[in-house]
Structure 1
Amino acid sequence: MTATTAVVAPAPVDRKRTGYLRYGAGKLGGALISLVAVLVTGFFLFRIIPGDPVKAMTHGMPTSAEQLATLRGQFGLDLPLWRQFTDYCGKALTGDLGLSYQFHAPVGELIAQKLPATLLLTGTAVLLYSTLGLWLGTRSAWRHGGRADRLTTGVALTLWSVPSFWLGLLLIITFAVGVGPLPGLFPTGGMESGGERGFAYAIDVAHHLVLPVLTLVAVGYAQTLLVVRSSLLDEMGGDYLTTARAKGLRDAAVRRRHAVPNALLPTVTMVFINLGHVVAGSILVETVFSWPGLGGLFYQALSVPDLPLVQGLFIVFAGAMIVMNLLADLIYPLLDPRVRR
């Protein structure tokens, strides 16, 4: 009688995990390439801006040619372009964004000082218009063709086509300066009146937030509504919704459990792009309302031009968008496994 030995089959490979890791590695590699492209573009793009930074900084002051040459040497502007580029890349890869020409302070410190104001403004706006756009877009698509759908879509298309700076100016004229018998109700700009402490300070900042947040929400919610509505309309003809209704599910449950989750991919992209804008801020809106954030700082840097500050802000803005898009790409397969194939 011969003994038989059992053959143990090798453990099955977790194909889902392997596929997701391969997919994530590809997206991460693409993000790193994009960051390198941003680094290179950030250097050469702002070198073509007309104007001499040293002459702009010394404008109106008696300055000799020797003093101008000394300043150019101090800021490294007398070096060959290739040497400026290698120095710039080396410092950027270590987190050193350089020294601002006009503020004479490290660019990283200037960005850190202005970042909270931008996060407060754009973070509040993104939270409000994402929620509002998702809610209105879902209901507009679910009852498409009705009077409410035509009204909300028409208003959204109008607001989406309006430049944010122009809308901000209209709000300032109407609600800050006042029109006719309507008095000015809100400040024309800035983040605070000064001299307030504690709870009174929070109320003062909230008072200054109203008009710039309203400007961003009016434009942002329109984009969100239209994207959500279009995505949901594409899903509404699916057989799985008919099956869900045939099983006795109520209309609200069909929408919430089946239709909306399957229409989320474009919405996820848009939401994460909006989160990238939380860091980038809104240059035009911050400039119109004199908001002391990164957008206003970028505008000041462009006017010189303050090359290290402009380049540093450009890297931060673009980097935030790349990271948010990477996160969206990594979430896609969790919502729809077909994406990783």
Structure 2
Amino acid sequence: MVSEAVTAPVARARRPRTGTGYPRYVAAKAGGAVVSLLAVLVTGFFLFRLIPGDPVKTMTGGRPVSAEQLAAYRREFGLDLPLWHQFTDYCGKALTGDLGTSYQFRTPVIDKITEALPNTLLLTGTAFVLYTALGMWLGTRSAWRHGKLGDRLNTGLALTLYSVPSFWLGLLLIIVFAVGLGPIPGLFPTGGMESGGKEGFAYVVDVAHHLVLPVITLVAVEYGQTLLVTRSALLDEMGSDYLTTARAKGLRDDLVRRRHAVPNALLPTVTLVFVNLGRTVAGVILVETVFSWPGLGGLFYQALSVPDLPLVQGLFLVFASAVIVMNTLADLIYPLLDPRVGR
């Protein structure tokens, strides 16, 4: 009986929804995601056409080009068509998976995205795992010892780093640990993903060496949000009656925290994890640019400088889709953890 009374909140939180309520909830969320993706498709087309500059003239590299040659370039890329015609062509092709041809690379946009995506996933995936684990661990410890020196230090440092711009922190790390500052020698590469000329295990070590500073930058900036949400959720649970009952039955504080308080406090953190997963992919642009990492962020920066409209639009669609899909997954999983959601 003691075990059932103590674990009842956890069991209720994990009981799946039944009946027709959850399928309707799923359908509503999926429909909202589709509408959001269509809105992104439309917004991306018109938004980047406000960027000043002529992509055709930029591609010529300042060389003297006749009006006939410029007109031929515009016909080649469809820039001579009316805006509404360009828009309908873009939407029709995008819905079939054709994101157009890059102006500067003269290759399909989807090929450039596919080429750069693994590099971004390596960087963001490594950082995501580290800052999520670090934030949840420190958030749990801070909540259980709230008000003490360790809690104040953890919370203060998390708030400080969370407010620091990622590009500024990245530049600072490059100055101190890549270039070297005073007695500190340059320990890491200033940018890129590899030094070249290495194979096998030496190549893996080289990539990991280049990965250190950009990962530290992302972890330092992002872990604070997970820490603060986990801490706040756990503090809300700590006054619950079932925890008081568990302590009264003689369970150690460590078991009360790990087996009962933390599982119920993780509901907001689970949502945040999915949101952060999508946001990290979209928000890595500055970090990849600072560290010259050959991923989607660096590719987006290159495309903006032209502007390479098909490539910019395709990357914008990928970034926005990552956020929308992860938000939708969080919405779908939350009712399975807490049946009160979606009623």
Shorter-chain TM band: over 0.9
Over aligned residue pairs, what C-alpha RMSD do you find?
1.4
1:146-185 correspondence to structure 2 within 5 Å: 146-185=148-187
1:239-318 correspondence to structure 2 within 5 Å: 239-277=241-279, 279-280=281-282, 282-318=284-320
- The aligned counterpart of 1:25 is 27
How far apart are the structure 2 equivalents of 1:47 and 1:241? 57
Question: How far apart are 1:250 and its partner, in Å?
Answer: 2.1
The CA deviation string for residues 73-107 of structure 1, in whole angstroms up to 9 with x for no partner, is: 11111111111111010000000000000110000
Among all aligned residue pairs of Structure 1 and Structure 2, give the percentage whose two residues are the same amino acid: 80
How far apart are the structure 2 equivalents of 1:287 and 1:49? 19
Q: Under a length normalisation based on structure 2, what TM-score does the superposition of the two structures give?
A: 0.93
The CA deviation string for residues 29-48 of structure 1, in whole angstroms up to 9 with x for no partner, is: 11111111111111111111
Tell me, what secondary structure is at the counterpart of 1:200?
helix
8 A contact 2:275–2:323 mirrored in 1: yes
The aligned amino acid for 2:111 is: E
Tell me, what secondary structure is at the counterpart of 2:132?
helix
- The aligned counterpart of 1:135 is 137
Q: Which has the higher Rg, Structure 1 or Structure 2?
A: 1
How far apart are the structure 2 equivalents of 1:318 and 1:237? 39
- The aligned counterpart of 2:210 is 208
- The aligned counterpart of 1:48 is 50
8 A contact 1:27–1:326 mirrored in 2: yes
- The aligned counterpart of 2:188 is 186
How far apart are the structure 2 equivalents of 1:309 and 1:21? 37
8 A contact 1:122–1:281 mirrored in 2: no
8 A contact 1:275–1:324 mirrored in 2: yes
Gaps of 5+ in 2: 1-15
Gaps of 5+ in 1: 1-13
The CA deviation string for residues 86-141 of structure 1, in whole angstroms up to 9 with x for no partner, is: 10100000000000001100000000100111111111000001001000001101
Structure 1 pair 328–15 and aligned structure 2 pair: CA distance change class (3 A): closer
How far apart are the structure 2 equivalents of 1:158 and 1:281? 19
Q: Under a length normalisation based on structure 1, what TM-score does the superposition of the two structures give?
A: 0.93
- The aligned counterpart of 1:74 is 76
Aligned length: 328
Structure 1 pair 300–250 and aligned structure 2 pair: CA distance change class (3 A): same
Tell me, what secondary structure is at the counterpart of 1:263?
helix
Tell me, what secondary structure is at the counterpart of 2:146?
coil
How far apart are the structure 1 equivalents of 2:254 and 2:342? 31
- The aligned counterpart of 1:103 is 105
How far apart are the structure 1 equivalents of 2:67 and 2:96? 34
Question: How far apart are 1:281 and its partner, in Å?
Answer: 5.5
How far apart are the structure 1 equivalents of 2:19 and 2:105? 50
